[in-house]
Amino acid sequence: MLKLPEKLKIPVIVLTAIFLILFLINSKTLYQKVSNRLDTYRTQIVYFLNPPDDAVFIPGKATPGTPLASVTATATIAKTAIPSLGPISKPTATSTPLPKAKIIPNVVYVDQHNRWNYCGPANITMALNYWGWKGTRDDVAKAIKPGENNLKLDFIQRGKSDKNVMPYEMVDFVNNETDLNAFQRSGGTIDLLKAYIANGLPVLIEKGYYERDYTGKTTWMGHYLFVTGYDDSQGVFIVQDAYLKPGKDLQSKYDEFFEGWRSFNYLFMVIYPDDKTELVNSITGDYLDADFASKAALERANQEIKSATGMDEFFAWFNKGTSHVQLLEYNDAATAFDQAFQVYAGLKEETIQRPYRMMWYQTAAYKAYYYTARHTDVIALADTTLNETMDKPTLEESLFWRGMSEIALGDRYGGVKDLQQAVYYNPNMTIAINQLNELNAPLVP
């Protein structure tokens, strides 16, 4: 047997170790690439055989009067992430003319590339970094997008199944995990956004976004944008788009911006340090009152319903229902959602898909039906969302509300199972954890 000289043994061992490490790293990377590609093909096959925009939920006539389960606990969701901002004051920043243009400097762009559904973490990171926070998008994601409770997967792979981060999760992260403040409101206006920006306060919004998918059809999805400037002479906002390449300092025309914003009830989010509280309160004015903001959104939805058609009519009715839920007006909300889903069922064009992802991002319809004791509708809507609009049933919010309604109808086994699944897909979902604890049920099967 050939023996190595003593002086070569250590270098050979080191080189061999390096080779093995590189092999393992490359093998893992190759495995992930192959796995991701196969998963993409599997999704395409599922959607080809069962087009998600063909899925239609038709509200039924559930028997009213079924006892509600844990109403107090779940009612908290409707009012979550609405901090006290101080005494309500009239806006003063708009009493003097705003500048015709304003671009907030020193904004560090953060993209969502090489991650799945990272729009929320990327945008929150941009907002936080602007005010001096030193964390990264992954630091944010570990809190608000933990993903599957499966330690066999690495952090990035675990988060793949999480289709969306809710606005309240983002607001809660800022308020609870940083020394900054945040709030969200519905019913925002172009002028209000410009007032914030003119005073050096960038704003996050949630909006609809359209692109062609692999079928060649135009598909709708939700998206966050970080708004950092405007220019009246060109009629544009300056936005940071974490998804597009390039996505830094893009121009978004006012009318197109407003059109996309409609599908999320004109939701906006402001993040700011303590020393800007007085300024924020002054600009926000009546919108400091969450009910005022919801009523403003409701009035706009009522006006849009009068003339809107097609997909815009669906969004208007959905916004009406969402605003009623925010005001705890559940009967009115349920009626509005009934109409929204009827409009949705009638949408069908050859090149534009129905917005089948709607319930991935907005869950007010579940609350409306749950609190009016229409539990069979909650379950049917969740079934449609989880089983017909997705390749895998991974939405923790849909699982949670289906579980709550199953329990309300006496199906403890099915309800607990769904709540456990909700916690599996989001181990930080406090509301589901609390319900399982109240039921003296384990967090895992």
Residues 191 and 279 reside in one and the same domain: yes
* Residue that the structure tokens 């005022």 belong to: 292
Is residue 3, in this structure, part of any structural domain at all?
no
**Is 254 inside any structural domain?**
yes
> Quick one: pLDDT at residue 50?
77
DSSP-derived pairing of the beta strands 268-272 and 218-231: unpaired
Name the pLDDT band for 89 (thresholds 50, 70, 90).
very low
Residue 24 counted as domain residue: no
Q: How many domains does the chain have?
A: 2
Decide if 16 is inside a domain: no
Query: Does 300 fall in a domain?
Result: no
User: What number is the average pLDDT over the span 64-71?
Assistant: 41
Confidence of residue 90 (pLDDT cuts 50, 70, 90): very low
The verdict on residue 1 lying in a domain is no
Least confident of 9-18, 74-83, 238-247, 419-428: 74-83
Residue 142 sits in a domain of what CATH number? 3.90.70.10
163 and 229 together in one domain? yes
- Residue 349: predicted pLDDT: 77
- Please, which pLDDT band fits residue 64 given cuts at 50, 70 and 90? very low
pLDDT greater than 90 at residue 2: no
* 273 shares a domain with 421: no
Same domain as 49, residue 108: no
Burial 347-379 (b: 16+ CB within 10 A, else e): beeeebbbbbbbbbbbbbbbbbbbbbbbbbbbb
At 186 the pLDDT is 98
Residues 343 and 363 in one domain: yes
Domain that holds residue 127: 87-288
Range 402-421 burial, b when 16+ CB lie within 10 A, else e? bbbbbbbbebeebbbbbbbb
More confident residue, 296 or 162: 296
Tell me which of 267, 288, 309 is where a domain ends: 288
Do the domain assignments include residue 35?
A: no
Q: Which of 235, 268, 288 is the last residue of a domain?
A: 288
Write down the pLDDT at residue 219.
93
| Residue 276 and residue 339 in one domain | no
Q: Does 249 lie in the same domain as 113? A: yes
Tell me the mean pLDDT in the region 418-426. 97
443 touches 424 (CB < 8 A): no
pLDDT digits (tens, 9 = 90+) for 289-305: 999 999 999 999 999 99
Same domain, 64 and 120: no
Please indicate, yes or no, if residue 118 is contained in any of the structural domains: yes
Is the pLDDT higher at 84 or at 285? 285
The total of other beta-carbon atoms located within 10 Å of residue 99's CB is 12
The pLDDT mean for the chain works out to 87
pLDDT at 26: 59
Which of 288, 310, 342 is at the close of a domain? 288
Are residues 339 and 211 both part of a single domain? no
Tell whether the model's pLDDT for residue 63 goes beyond 90.
Answer: no
Q: Band of the pLDDT at 141, cuts 50, 70, 90?
A: very high
Give the number of C-alpha atoms closer than 13 A to the C-alpha of residue 179, restricted to the C-beta side: 6
Give the pLDDT confidence of 195-242 residue by residue, as tens digits. Answer: 999 999 999 999 999 998 877 789 999 999 999 999 999 999 999 999
State the first-to-last Cα distance of the chain, in angstroms, to the nearest integer: 57
Are 236 and 129 contained in the same domain?
A: yes
Same domain membership, residue 361 and residue 259: no
pLDDT at 34 over 90: no
Over pLDDT 90: what percentage of the chain?
Answer: 72
CATH of the domain at 357: 1.25.40
One domain for residues 354 and 382? yes
Instruction: Tell me the mean pLDDT in the region 240-267.
Output: 97
